[in-house]
Amino acid sequence: PGTFQCLPNLQKLNLDSNKLTNISQETVNAWISLISITLSGNMWECTRSICPLFNWLKNFKGNKESTMICAGPKHIQGEKVSDAVETYNICAEIPMVVTEKPYQVPKTQQRPIFIPKPTIPKVEDYEPTSFTPSPSPDFPTSGPEPEYEHVSFHKIIAGSVALFLSVAMILLVIYVSWKRYPASMKQLQQHSLMKRRRKKARESERQMNSPL
């Protein structure tokens, strides 16, 4: 790394077939003026140690001939470095897990609480008091309620029904007699008319014979 820091104006770099396995972060930070780089033919170890170089190449805008092949680990030998890193998430950022101890409230010594005992008075301290009932005021007593004659409702209904039946019977007798004996009914009517006429004639004669 110190070699490249002494060459800040280095623009072209050829690292082909140098049996390189990885390049540190300090080294790639010194490549500030490079415009061309070649990295093929090396023994790249496709672990997290390859991440500084891989990330630098992603941001590099110059010419690069980097047919980089993984030499290890065994399960990815022969694959391209870029494919292996993306497939197996080799350079994925590992989130930092911060473990915080839970805050513990400091324990305080509890003081004993003194509860006073209740004092119970003795029975001997109290003297029995005599109770004299007060005379109750005299209220006028109400006399016996007057007795009322109660007329039963069913008697009223029975009387009204009997009256209705008697009137109906009288009307029925008149109707039947009028239907069966119409001549006799007419005679009775004529006889009553004749009586009325005779009375009127007598009254008129009396009025005429009476002295003026």
Model pLDDT for residues 100-136, shown as the tens digit of each residue: 555 565 566 566 666 666 666 555 555 555 556 555 5
Lowest mean pLDDT among 27-36, 66-75, 153-162, 175-184: 175-184
Confidence band (pLDDT; 50, 70, 90) for 165? very high
User: What's the CA gap between 68 and 82, in Å, rounded?
Assistant: 8
Hey, what are 56's tokens? 């630098």
Residue 38: strand, helix, or coil = strand
HSE (side-chain half, CA atoms, 13 Å) at 156? 4
83 and 157 in one domain?
no
Residue 35 domain flag = yes
Model confidence pLDDT, tens digit, residues 54-84: 999 999 999 987 689 999 899 999 999 999 9
Residue 107 domain flag = no
Q: Which domain covers residue 196, as residue numbers? A: 153-209
Domain edge (last residue) among 73, 88, 103: 88
Residue 108 domain flag = no
Q: Residue 179 pLDDT > 50, yes or no? A: yes
Mean pLDDT of the chain: 78
Number of domains in the chain: 2
17: CATH = 3.80.10.10
User: What's the CA gap between 193 and 188, in Å, rounded?
Assistant: 9
Give the pTM: 0.44
